[in-house]
Chain A
């Protein structure tokens, strides 16, 4: 029984990690790519860690997996946020589908003054 649940969670996790990688290839710009990869890979990795916890029970390995799960949910969005902010500061515009009305950012973003000599 435990084996079956373990395999189910593991396959869900691997499917979502695969989808995240596919999204990385299919999306048009850096922000959409970050969205796809962050969401899918976070759930996928979380699912794999949960499967490890179920398989090994409350042993040393299982508890480490649980702690990893908590820190993954805290860290993964933060890292993605840092990447998005870096991309924004270096001046990458949001992609628009050709033909759509333009949706501007709500404020002109502050740009970082770089020293140019």
Chain B
């Protein structure tokens, strides 16, 4: 199961990158994908049974829309902060609780916080994220979590757990 998922993933990326229909191209792709699959196939998907559940993909698409909206908003807010005189900032570090356990989910959450409005992941420990906030509104962990990543953390919990 693990091996099949990794092989399909690698071969798909190979086809997308090369994007041609030669026979030689197919043979080279299959050989290279098989080689990498044999080496790394055992380790990669931590929960292979999750890849067959369609609701996770639906939740992930929902997450993508939330993320895109937040990112575009973040860019306009950042443009405003850069262009106004004497940048209107009040930076500080807050800590927020982290409920996700899956490593891939944690990476995606940390990256989406970095691209969300005014926040930036600095450090990650077992239960907490340390977030640099460019305009600190509250230092209370629970309120800060609600304001920074409440929605995306809930959706990612649906996707990965």
Contact = CB atoms under 8 A, between A and B. Distances in A.
Interface in B5-45: 13, 16-20
A94 B130 contact: no
The B interface is mostly helix, strand or loop, or mixed, namely mixed
A116 interface: no
B82 A23 contact: yes
Interface string B107-121: 100110011001011
B132 A35 contact: yes
Contacts of B92: 94, 96, 103-104
A96 B78 contact: no
A43 B69 CA distance: 12
Nearest to B93: A105
Interface in A1-33: 16, 19, 22-23, 26-29, 31-32
Please tell me the size bucket of the interface on B. 35 or more
B72 interface: yes
B4 interface: no
B91 A29 contact: yes
B19 A95 contact: no
B120 A60 contact: no
A84 B93 contact: no
Interface of B: 13, 16-20, 71-72, 74-75, 78-79, 81-83, 87, 89-95, 107, 110-111, 114-115, 118, 120-123, 128, 130, 132, 134, 136, 139, 141
Interface of A: 16, 19, 22-23, 26-29, 31-32, 34-36, 38-40, 42-43, 58-60, 63-64, 66-67, 73-74, 77-78, 80-81, 84-85, 88, 94-97, 100, 103-107, 109
